[in-house]
Amino acid sequence: MKRMLKNTDGTAAIEFAASGFALVTVFVMLLEAASMYFAQGVLESAVDRAARFAVTGTAPTGMTREERLLELVSGMSLGMIDTSGVQIQTSSYTSYQAAGTAGAGSAGLGGSGDVLKIEAAMTWPGLTPLMQVVTGAVHLGASAVVRAERY
């Protein structure tokens, strides 16, 4: 019996089995957090680019400005973001002060010299089912407010 108690063969395997699950879980959650921040960054960058694009008042041939925003999100995310789940809302206002007032604007991207507000929102599902268990659905959003050029 004493000989069995002094035998340390396999101790490392038992210690890893006890702590390995926690290490793998932490690693997966770090990957989940990184992918969520990546998605948020892509959404913000796409809205920023779309706002710059909307300032000029032009639209690509055969495409609306909203479709261009979805194209930017898809291209910038390297296919990680499903654009069918991205909601876009555009509003136009007469001034920056009005842009902060609920119900003061009109839907759409307005015209020459208007203040434009572009908002994009999506639900990030995560890369693994572990994200759904721990945090549930994560709602991401981005917005930009700019004044259109006179055209």
Amino acid identity, residue 2? K
pLDDT at 64: 78
The full set of domain ranges for the chain reads 7-147
pLDDT tens-place string over residues 35-91:
999 999 989 998 898 888 888 867 678 887 778 778 887 888 887 788 888 898 889
* Predicted confidence (pLDDT) per residue in 96-145, tens digit: 888 888 778 888 878 888 999 989 999 988 888 887 888 888 999 999 99
Residue 78: both structure tokens together: 């390297």
| 84-94 as b/e: b if 16+ CB within 10 A | eebebebbbbe
The token duo for 61 is 């041939």
